[in-house]
Amino acid sequence: MTDLTRLTAVEVARVVRDGEASAVDVAQAHLDRIAAVDDRVHAFLHVDTEGALAAARAVDEQRAAGEPLGPLAGVPLALKDVFTTRGVPTTCGSKILEGWRPPYDATVTRRLKDAGIVILGKTNMDEFAMGSSTENSAYGPTRNPWDLDRIPGGSGGGSSASLAAFMAPLAIGTDTGGSIRQPAAVTGTVGAKPTYGGVSRYGLVALASSLDQGGPCARTVLDAALLHEVIAGHDPLDSTSIDTPVPAVADAARRADVAGMRVGVVREFAGDGYQSGVQQRFTEAVDLLASLGADVVEVSCPHFDYALAAYYLILPSECSSNLARFDAMRFGLRVGDDGTRSAEEVMSLTRDDGFGDEVKRRIILGTYALSSGYYDAYYGQAQKVRTLITDDFTAAFERCDVLVSPTTPTTAFRIGERVDDPLAMYLADLCTIPSNLSGGAAMSVPCGLAPEDGLPVGLQVMAPALADDRMYRVAAAFEAAFAERSGAILEGVPAL
C-alpha cells in the first residue's frame, strides 16, 4: 500500500475523493508518523488527535452522503501555534500563554475547517514569532529533519519541519520578516507570503501588525497555491483585508511557464555574508529560468541595504504595543499574586517571567523607539525608509515581472550558533524583509543543496502587491524544470 504520508496534498485529496483511502486513514497515518518521529524533531507543541480524527470523519461522512468535497478536503495540515483555535491550546511558543484555550477561531482556522482540511495540531515557533531558528520557543527548539543538530528556520520552524519530515503535507505559517520563506528555504520546502492584506489576520496573534501575513507552506508549489486559495480572501473582521478577488494562484501554478517573462536579479542581494554554495545554486537557478525562456535582467534596489535597520525599528515598536495585552489580568499566566502585591507589580513579574529574552529585548527596543524625543529619529525615520523601499520595488517592477534572490544568505546553521548574537541572527532575514516592508508578495522554492554542506537552498521569487499569481507561475515553472534535471529535493531528506 502507498505510504499516505509521502503524497502531495493534491494526491491525498484525490485518494480521499476517489475512495482509495478514507480521510480517517490519511489522518491516522500522519498521526502515526508524528508519534514515530516527532520526539526527535519536535515540530508540534500540541497534537489534536481527537479533533483531527473528528474532522476526518466529517469529510468521510460528507463523501458518503454524496456531497461535493473541496479541492483539499481530507488533507492533513500543521497549523502554526500563532493562530487561535477555539478550545485548543494556543501558546505562540510562549510561557505566558501556557494552557490558554482561546474562546474563538481565527479566520484562517475557520476557513481551513470549512474546506474540510484536517488540522493535526499546533506547530512550534519562536516565541511570538520573534526569531529565525525556532530556538526562542519557550518549549524547546525544533530540529531540522535534514540534520537534527541544525535549525529548521524560524519563526515557523515547526511548520517547515513537519513538512520536511512528512508529518503533514500542508502547513500554515506567518511571515513578518521571512518566517515562512526562510524556514521553507532551509528545509527544502515551499512557503509563500501573500500580498499584505490577502489573508485575514483576525485571530493571528500579532507580532507587528503592519508586517504580519499568514500564508501557505507545502512540499510543492501547486499544493501551496491550493492552500493559498483556501485561506485568502476578504474578511470584514480585518480592516486591512483587501476587498478584491484572490489572484488565481492555482491556475498560475498549473500554467508553470516563464517564457517571455522578465525576471530581475536584485544586485544588492549578493556578496559578503552570502555562503558560496547558496550563491552557486542561486546563479544556476537564474540560468535555469533563462533556459526556460525568461528574460533575465539585473536590477538595483539601493535602499534594500537599509531594510534590516528599518525593520528592527518598526517591528519592535509595533510589538511593544501589541504585546502589552499580556498582562496577567484577563488570560494566561499570572505570577506573584500573593494578595498583597499590586496589579502593576504582578504585571511586571508575570511579564518578566513569562517572556523570553528576545521578546523582552524587542519590547524594550520598541518602547525606546516610540518614546517622546526619540520617535522622529527612530520610528519616524524607519517609516520613511519603508517608503523608499516601496519606491525601489515600484521602479524595479516597471522593468520586471518578478524579482529573484536567494531566500536567505546561508543554509541552516547549527542550533546554538547564533543565540547569543542577535544581530547575526537578524541577518537570516536580510533578503526576505523588503517584501514585508512594501507589502508585496514573495515565496521560496527549493533550488538545490549547497555543495559544501548538502543542505537545502531556497530561491526567493518576489512579485508586486496583488500579483501573487506571477510568483506562483515562476516558482512552479522552476520547480518542474529543476525536478526534471535533478529530481525532487525532498527525496534526499534522511528517513529519521
Partner 1 sequence: MTVTVEDALTRWQPVVGMETHVELGTRSKMFCGCATEFGAEPNQQTCPVCLGLPGSLPVANEAAIRYTILIGLALNCSIASWCRFARKNYFYPDMPKNYQISQYDEPLCVDGWLDVQLGGEVHRIGIERVHLEEDTGKSLHVGGATGRIHGADFSLVDYNRAGIPLVEIVTRPDITSAALARAYVTELRDLVRAVGASDVKMEEGSLRCDVNVSLRPIDASALGTRAEVKNVNSLRSVERAVRHEIGRQATRLEAGERIVQETRHFHEDTGTTTSGRSKEEAQDYRYFPEPDLVPIAPDPAWVEELRASLPELPAARRQRLTAELGLSDADQLAMNNAGVLDLVLAAVEAGAPAADARNWWLGDLLARSNAADVDPAELGITPAQVARVCALVADGTLTATMAKDVFAGILETGDDPDTVVATKGLRQVSDVGALGTAVDDAIAALPDVAQKIRDGKVAAVGALVGAVMKSTRGQANAGVVKELVLQRLGVAPE
Partner 2 sequence: MALTRDEVAHLARLSRLALSDDELDHFATQLDVILGAVARVSEVAADDIRPTSHSVPLTNVFRPDEVRPSLDPAASLAGAPAAEGGRFRVPRILGEEA
* Residue in 347, 3, 327, 18 with CA at minimum distance from that of residue 169: 3
For residues 349 to 368, the per-residue mask of contacts with partner 2, x marking binding by CB under 8 A and - elsewhere, is x-xx--x-x--xx-xxx-xx
Is residue 106 within 8 Å of residue 84, measured between CB atoms? yes
Q: Which residues of 353-368 are buried (b: 16+ CB within 10 A; e: fewer)?
A: ebbbebbeebbebbeb
**Partner from partner 1, partner 2, none contacting 205, C-beta within 5 to 8 A by type:** partner 1
Per CB under 8 A, the list member of 248, 296, 388, 481 interacting with partner 2 is: 388
- The contact pattern for partner 2, residues 271-310, with x = CB under 8 A and - = no contact, is --------------------------------x--x-xxx
Instruction: Indicate if 155 belongs to the active site.
Output: yes
Closest to 129 in 3D by CA, of 91, 92, 103 = 92
Kindly tell me which residue out of 50, 342, 373, 484 binds partner 2, with binding defined by CB under 8 A: 342
CB-based contact 394:129 (threshold 8 Å): no
| Number of other CB atoms surrounding residue 289 within 10 Å | 24
Min separation Cβ 202 and partner 1, Å: 5
Dump the DSSP string for 21-71: S-HHHHHHHHHHHHHHHHHHH--EEEE-HHHHHHHHHHHHHHHHTT----T
Collapse the DSSP code of 216 into the 3-class scheme (helix H, G, I; strand E, B; otherwise coil) and give the result: strand
Query: Which of 201, 281, 303, 386 forms a contact with partner 1 (CB under 8 A)?
Result: 201
Among 146, 166, 202, 306, binds partner 1 (CB under 8 A): 202
Task: For the segment 368-397, give every residue that binds partner 1 (CB under 8 A).
Answer: 370-372, 375, 379
Q: What is the C-alpha separation between 330 and 102, in angstroms, rounded? A: 12
Number of residues that bind partner 2 (CB under 8 A): 71
Pick from 188, 181, 197, 182: nearest CA to 231 = 197
Cell numbers at 167, concatenated: 508529518
Examine the residue annotation and report whether 405 is marked as an active-site residue of this protein: no
Q: Which stretch binds partner 1 (CB under 8 A): 45-53, 155-163, 200-208, 255-263?
A: 200-208
Least Å distance between CB 360 and partner 2?
6
Cell of 97: 500563554
> Which does residue 487 bind out of partner 1, partner 2, none, counting CB within 5 to 8 angstroms by kind?
none
Task: Look at the block and give the residue holding cell 470549512.
Answer: 114
Q: Contact region for partner 1 (CB under 8 A) — 3-11, 95-103, 276-284, 406-414? A: 95-103
443: which DSSP letter?
A: E
Enumerate residues 154-213 that contact partner 2 by CB under 8 A.
Answer: 196-197, 210-211
Among residues 37, 138, 218, 242, which is the contact residue for partner 2, using CB under 8 A? 242
Instruction: Tell which positions 91-150 bind partner 2, by CB under 8 A.
Output: 100-104
DSSP 494: -
* From 318, 358, 392, 401, residue interacting with partner 1 (rule: CB under 8 A): 318
122 forms bridges with which residues in the sheet?
Answer: 46, 79
Q: Which of 51, 194, 264, 439 binds partner 2 (CB under 8 A)?
A: 439
In the set 94, 132, 137, 155, the catalytic residue is 155
To the nearest 10°, the Cα dihedral for 118, 138, 446, 207? 80
The reply to whether 206 sits near partner 1 by the rule CB under 8 A is: yes
Residue 321 known to be catalytic: no
Catalytic residues: 80, 155, 179
**By the criterion CB under 8 A, which residues form the site for partner 1?**
83-84, 90, 92, 97, 100, 102-104, 106, 201-206, 208-210, 236-240, 317-318, 320-321, 324-327, 329-331, 339, 343-344, 347, 367, 370-372, 375, 379
